[in-house]
Amino acid sequence: MEVILTRSGRSALLLGLKALNFGVGDTVLIPNYICNAVLQPIRHLGLSPRFYRLDSQLNPCLEDVKEQVSLANGNTGIIVVNYFGFRQNIAPVLDYAKRCNVTVIEDNCHGHLSALGNDEIGNAGDIVVSSLRKSYLIPDGGYTLLRSVSLASGTDLNLEVDGNWPSYLSALAKSRIKTEIRKYPRLEIAIENSFEKEASCIPPLMMGTASFLASRAAKRTGHFTAQKRIQGYKKAAAHLRKLGYEPMFEAQLLQGAVPYACPFQVESSQELVQVLKLLRGRGMRGHIWPTLPLELRNDKRREEALLLRRRTGIILLGHK
């Protein structure tokens, strides 16, 4: 098992896919409820995406996963996502993937601090990718955890010893975050300059600067940040209820999950715009999620799924 630090979740995913040594035309299965960012590394490597359905609670539909695997070309990997920091029921997919020699990449970009009971989220895939910057509200930071995959020999990690280091690493000397990452046996740093530029994932001004945000976050413990997020979710949920809407996944919060955002669903885009406006008036920032990738926008199968006819908004949980 080894962990490689990156500057973003996207770069972490790129590195995970590189570690698999997939070539042009190999297939990656992706849930059909996903943001464009996840597609960027897949396009960059020339891999073929195939989309599988989710149920109304964002759990993967195993039957559709099986069908998409049977239609896939070449080597096949599957991405499962812990949406908004909450674990979905991924066990059936993990079990099936193991039997069929399909590698599982667990996208834990929303859930670095999350756990259910003693079960930390982000410990199930063959490869786990995470976006530290989302969890800690810092300009950059992510990692790839290779759990049961070893780096193929000759994999170009773009290891850099100086240059544009992630700002949270610059602040690492004072950091308590490092103790959370250092539990993994081997640390490397991979910098993906050209891909990050192409994917515009980090504002250029923030690249590599030991910013105030990063230094401040580095002094926080995961516990501190987690508590702030849980408080933020509760506050957002109370506002939503006053407006007559139910927050999603609240039960998991009681079991110890740490939310990335407070998600909720409405019937139409117009309604969502209105609710977001009302929430803004109450000091809550939110937006529509996800920004769909082009590949999915006109996908008829997506529209068929009940979940995706509804619209999802998320309330961001910033902390002061």
Between residues 142 and 263, which has the closer beta carbon with respect to ligand PLP?
A: 142
Residue 37 lies near ligand PLP (rule: CB under 6 A): yes
Stretch of 2-10, 207-215, 301-309, 312-320 lying at the interface with ligand PLP (CB under 6 A): 2-10
> What's the closest the beta carbon of residue 11 comes to ligand PLP, in angstroms?
7
Binds ligand PLP by CB under 6 A, chosen from 27, 32, 114, 131: 131
Between vectors from CA 257 to CA 252 and to CA 260, what angle results, nearest 5°? 110
Tokens of 313: 């908004």
Return the range that interacts with ligand PLP (CB under 6 A); candidates 15-23, 129-137, 243-251, 311-319.
129-137
Pick 26 or 107: Cβ nearer ligand PLP: 107
Mask 65-94, x = binds ligand PLP (CB under 6 A)? ----------------x-------------
DSSP assignment letter at 84: G
In the window 100-119, what residues touch ligand PLP (CB under 6 A)? 107, 109-110
Residue 253: in which H helix or E strand, if any? helix 250-254
Q: Which residues of the chain form beta strands (DSSP E)?
A: 2-6, 27-31, 48-52, 76-81, 103-107, 115-116, 119-120, 127-130, 142-146, 187-189, 261-266, 286-288, 311-316
From candidates 3, 5, 9, 31, binder to ligand PLP by CB under 6 A: 9
CA–CA separation, 243 vs 279, rounded Å?
9
Task: Write each residue from 170 to 209 as x if it is in contact with ligand PLP (CB under 6 A), else as -, in one continuous string.
Answer: -------------------------------x--------
The residues in 276-315 that bind ligand PLP, with binding defined as CB under 6 A, are: none
Return the H-helix or E-strand segment holding 37.
helix 36-44
Between 134 and 163, how does the x/- string for binding to ligand PLP read (CB under 6 A)? x-------x---------------------
79 vs 160: CA distance, rounded Å: 28
Tell me whether residue 254 or residue 262 sits nearer to ligand PLP (CB atom).
262
Q: Tell whether residue 38 is a contact of ligand PLP (CB under 6 A).
A: yes
Residue type, 84: F
Task: For the CB of residue 142, give the shortest distance to ligand PLP in the complex, in Å.
Answer: 5
Residue 242 beta carbon to ligand PLP: minimum distance, rounded to whole angstroms: 27
CB of 54 to ligand PLP, least distance (A): 13
Among candidate residues 16, 259, 258, the one with its CA nearest the CA of residue 129: 16
**8 A C-beta contact, residue 191 and residue 163:** yes
Minimum Å distance from CB 6 to ligand PLP? Answer: 9
* Location of structure tokens 């407006």: 243
Instruction: Output phi, psi for 132, to 5 deg.
Output: -60, -30
Chain residue at closest Cβ approach to ligand PLP: 9
- How many residues of this chain bind ligand PLP (CB under 6 A)? 15
Q: Which residues, numbered 218-247, are part of the site for ligand PLP (CB under 6 A)?
A: none
Question: How far is residue 208's CA from residue 256's CA, in Å, rounded to a whole number?
Answer: 33
CB 189 within 8 A of CB 283: no
CB of 244 to ligand PLP, least distance (A): 27
Query: With b meaning 16 or more CB within 10 Å and e meaning fewer, what string describes 85-115?
Result: bbbbebeebbebbeeeebbbbbbbbbbbbbb
